């Protein structure tokens, strides 16, 4: 019986991870998918100025930083575009962004998706 519980949990983790190309970030007891379209995610990352600090801490080229900021924090916010951008990033670029989040006080999801 225990084996089925473990199989179910593993399956749910895989399905959850396969649904998005972004990742979860946590700070001050709140957590959001970077690609979500929530107002509170906007307040946590954008209105606080954290997204600018995070992008400044990456090694991404200026165009990529500007594009990520635009689709996360401007009037042209688009969760669809953020997800597309993250899907196109290399593994190194994703690690760079996650590292920048950590340097700015965020925790990253524990799943290795």
Model confidence pLDDT, tens digit, residues 52-68: 999 999 999 999 999 99
Structure tokens at 30: 């709140």
Q: According to the model, what pLDDT value does residue 69 have?
A: 95
- Indicate if the pLDDT at residue 20 is higher than 70: no
Structure tokens at 40: 């509170």
Q: According to the model, what pLDDT value does residue 9 have?
A: 56
In a domain, 93, yes or no: yes
* 3-class secondary structure, 58: coil
Packed helices 79-88 and 62-73: angle between N→C axes, nearest 10 degrees: 150
Q: According to the model, what pLDDT value does residue 106 have?
A: 93
- The residue among 63, 65, 70 whose CA lies nearest residue 53 is 65
Work out the angle at residue 57's Cα, subtended by the Cα atoms of residues 33 and 24, and round it to the nearest 5 degrees.
15
Stated as kind and residue range, the H or E segment containing 90 is: none
Weakest mean pLDDT among 30-34, 47-51, 92-96: 30-34
In a domain, 49, yes or no: yes
Range of the domain at 8: 2-108
Q: Provide the number of structural domains found in the chain.
A: 1
Q: According to the model, what pLDDT value does residue 76 have?
A: 92
In a domain, 113, yes or no: no
Name the pTM for this structure: 0.75
């Amino acid at each position: 019986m225990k084996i089925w519980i473990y199989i179910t949990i593993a399956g749910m983790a895989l399905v959850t991870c396969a649904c998005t190309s972004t990742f979860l970030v946590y700070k001050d007891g709140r957590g959001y998918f970077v690609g979500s379209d929530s107002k509170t995610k906007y307040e946590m990352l954008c209105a606080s100025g954290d997204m600018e600090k995070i992008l400044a801490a990456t090694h991404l080229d200026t165009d990529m930083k500007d594009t990520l900021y635009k689709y996360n924090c401007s009037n042209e916010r688009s969760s669809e575009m953020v997800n597309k951008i993250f899907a196109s990033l290399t593994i190194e670029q994703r690690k760079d962004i996650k590292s920048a989040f950590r340097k700015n006080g965020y925790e990253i999801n524990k799943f290795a998706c």
